[in-house]
Structure 1
Amino acid sequence: MKVVISGYYGYNNVGDEAILKSIITALRNENSNIDIVVLSNDVDYTEKTYNVKAINRWKMVDIYKELRKSDGLISGGGSLLQDVTSNRPVKYYTGIIALAKLAKKPVFIYAQGVGPINNSTNKKITKYFMQKSNYIALRDEDSKNLVKSIGVTKQIEIVPDPVMGFEIENFDSDLCNDYGDSFVSISVREWTKATTDFLGKVAKTCDELVDKGYEVVFLPMHGEHDDKISKQVVQMMKNNAHVFPYDTSIEEKILCIKKSKLMIGMRLHALIFAASVNTPMIGISYDPKIDSFLKLVNQPCIGSVDNNWSSEELLKKTISIINNYDNEKQKLSVESKLLKKSAQKTAKIAIEIFKDK
């Protein structure tokens, strides 16, 4: 069996790379002989890292040729169909689906988070190609509700984000050893649309945590982009804080979160990593996907980047969770175990869909 995988891969975003690795692992667990081709922005990196064939995600003729030789297309996971950043994602990812349909191949929408989609034309395009897909698996109820609201009538399944199935049980690293036993991990990103100084509030909270004896470790999830903004927040602080190396592996980042007392996160996959290793979290939302995931695992959100929450509120919530650490971990464990158990099933369904093509 041969499948083509389309997503936001090869851009040095650890969340999306974790999605890809999780999907590849899950597929190989179901079929050890499966032939996988990934559409990537960095072909060499993708081939070397995941032991797959990769092709340039912009070479449509090459993509069509691979689809012709394949048993089907996996579109996802991640937040592919949205127009908050621009109109390009909807056009690109539905364009790949169009090529698969032109090649007469089945399309599996794999654990995607859909939206926001604001443009009426983009809604029509998304509806059309969702209806053409052979199976739709979305990662949260908000995505399902959006897809239904734009007129998609096909059956939609809710499945966990693939990263919930990521395992690091046998992995170890000494990169976190300098941070001690009581550190809080922080994931921030730039968000120029924010109307409040949310980064200043994060910096003030981190200063208070250091004053109380905790180490603070910023964890860049999107390469140099998050490294730059993390260092910017550290410069805003009066106390010292650490910035985890941005070019470390997925496993090393997850291990850092696992060893921390708490994750305060903006990046969705920093929060998903936390859930996968049972580390309590507090979200800072810039997108509905953050709120959706936090609801799914019953974890708190201090507010959005545009809300008038205070550093004092964030500090109070952080200390409260740390003081009730065992209970909080137990509460999260109940939610995360169910998701981890279900994550593998998505790959099994995909394999069955392609077998019956």
Structure 2
Amino acid sequence: MRVVISGYYGYHNVGDEAILKSIITALRSQDANIEIVVLSNDIEYTKKTYNVEAINRWNILQIYNELRKSDGLISGGGSLLQDATSNRPIKYYTFIMKISKLVKKPVFIYAQGVGPISDNLNKKITKKSFEKADYITLRDKESIDLVKSIGVTKSIDLVPDPVMGFSIDRFESNICDKYEGDYISISVRDWDKAKTDFLKKVAKACDDIIENGYNVVFLPMHGRHDYETSRKVSDMMNNDCDIFPHESSIEEKILCIKKSKLMIGMRLHALIFAASANTPMIGISYDPKIDSFLNLVNQLCIGSVDDNWSGDDLSHKALIMLKNYEYERSKVIEESKELKIVAKQTAIKAIEIFKK
């Protein structure tokens, strides 16, 4: 069997790369001989990292030829179909699906999060692509509601994010060994749409947490972009903190979260990593997908970047959770247990579709 995978890959965003790794691992667990071709922005990196074939995601002729040779297309996961950033993602990803249908190959939408979609034309494009897909799996109820609201009538399965199926028991790294004592991990990102200086609130909370005997380690999820934001927050602080190497691997970043007592995160996959590692978490929301996931695993959201919470509010909540660490950890274990099992089953459904 030969499948093509389309998504936001080869941009060195740890969340999206973790999705890709999870999908590949899940597929290979069902079919050790499966041939996988990934549409990537960094071909050599993708080939080397995942031991797959990779082609330029912008080379339409090559994509057309690969899809002709394949047994089908996997589109996802992640938040591919949204127009919050621009109209380009919806146009690009639905065009890839269109090529697959043009060469009469099945399309499997794999654990995607959809939205927001504001433009009416984008809604029509998305509806048409979903109606022609052979199987649709989405990762949250809000995405399903949105897709149904734009007129999609096909059956849709609700499944966990692929990263929830990531097995982390055998990960090893000594990077975290240099962090002495108990620490919390922090994942921040820039968000130029924010109307408040939420990063300053995070800095105040981190100072309070350090003054109560814990260390703080910032974890850049999107390479140098998040490193610079982490550095910005650390420069606002009165106390010393650490910043995890931004070029470190997915496994090393998950281990950093696993060994921490608490994750305070903006990036969705920092929070998903925390659930996978059974680490309690507090989310800071800039997108409905953050709220959806925190609700799914019954974990705290301090509010959106523009809500009226303070650094004192955040540190107060964090310190209460740290004081009750064993109870908070047991909650995460219980809430994420079933999700970890179900996440691995999406690959089974995909292979069944491609075998038809």
Q: TM-score, normalised by structure 2?
A: 0.99
**Counterpart in the other structure of 2:235:** 235
Shift of 1:180: 2.1
Instruction: Note if 1:20 corresponds to 2:20.
Output: yes
Distance 2:100 2:301 in 1: 39
> Which secondary structure state, in structure 1, belongs to the residue aligned with residue 234 of structure 2?
helix
> Which secondary structure state, in structure 2, belongs to the residue aligned with residue 303 of structure 1?
strand
Instruction: Note if 1:161 corresponds to 2:161.
Output: yes
Shift of 1:335: 1.2
Whether contact under 8 Å (1:77, 1:112) holds in the other structure is yes
Counterpart of 1:205, as a letter, is A
Instruction: Note if 1:181 corresponds to 2:194.
Output: no
Distance 1:188 1:175 in 2: 20
**Counterpart in the other structure of 2:113:** 113
Q: How many residues matched?
A: 356
Q: CA offsets per residue over residues 64-92 of structure 1, 9 Å max, x none?
A: 00000000000000000000000000000
Shift of 1:160: 0.7
Counterpart of 1:8, as a letter, is Y
**Counterpart in the other structure of 2:131:** 131
**Structure 1 moving runs of 4+ over 2 Å:** none
Shift of 1:59: 0.4
Give unpaired runs (5+ residues) of structure 1: none
**Counterpart in the other structure of 1:192:** 192
**Counterpart in the other structure of 2:255:** 255
Instruction: Note if 1:331 corresponds to 2:343.
Output: no
**Counterpart in the other structure of 1:82:** 82
Whether contact under 8 Å (1:160, 1:342) holds in the other structure is yes
> Which secondary structure state, in structure 2, belongs to the residue aligned with residue 284 of structure 1?
strand
Aligned CA-pair RMSD: 0.6
Shift of 1:296: 0.4
Instruction: Note if 1:172 corresponds to 2:169.
Output: no
Counterpart of 1:291, as a letter, is D
Distance 1:128 1:252 in 2: 40
Shift of 1:172: 1.6
**Counterpart in the other structure of 1:291:** 291
**Counterpart in the other structure of 1:10:** 10
Distance 1:271 1:335 in 2: 13
Segment of structure 1 superposing worse, 44-53 or 178-187: 178-187
Distance 1:178 1:37 in 2: 38
Whether contact under 8 Å (1:181, 1:260) holds in the other structure is no
Distance 1:327 1:181 in 2: 20
Matches within 5 A, 1:216-235: 216-235=216-235
**Counterpart in the other structure of 2:142:** 142
> Which secondary structure state, in structure 2, belongs to the residue aligned with residue 217 of structure 1?
strand
Distance 2:304 2:82 in 1: 19
> Which secondary structure state, in structure 1, belongs to the residue aligned with residue 225 of structure 2?
helix
Distance 1:66 1:263 in 2: 41
Q: CA offsets per residue over residues 112-164 of structure 1, 9 Å max, x none?
A: 00000011110000000000000000000000000000000000000010001
**Counterpart in the other structure of 2:94:** 94
Identity percentage of aligned residues: 69
Distance 2:331 2:214 in 1: 23
Counterpart of 1:9, as a letter, is Y
Segment of structure 1 superposing worse, 168-177 or 244-253: 168-177
Q: CA offsets per residue over residues 165-221 of structure 1, 9 Å max, x none?
A: 112211221111121231010000000000001000000000111111110000000
> Which secondary structure state, in structure 1, belongs to the residue aligned with residue 340 of structure 2?
helix
**Counterpart in the other structure of 1:38:** 38
Distance 1:170 1:19 in 2: 18
Distance 1:289 1:181 in 2: 33
Whether contact under 8 Å (1:183, 1:260) holds in the other structure is yes
Q: TM-score, normalised by structure 1?
A: 0.99
> Which secondary structure state, in structure 1, belongs to the residue aligned with residue 201 of structure 2?
helix
> Which secondary structure state, in structure 1, belongs to the residue aligned with residue 308 of structure 2?
coil
> Which secondary structure state, in structure 1, belongs to the residue aligned with residue 75 of structure 2?
strand
Counterpart of 1:278, as a letter, is N
Distance 1:73 1:162 in 2: 16
Give unpaired runs (5+ residues) of structure 2: none
Counterpart of 1:247, as a letter, is E
Counterpart of 2:142, as a letter, is D
Distance 1:106 1:133 in 2: 7
Distance 1:131 1:22 in 2: 26
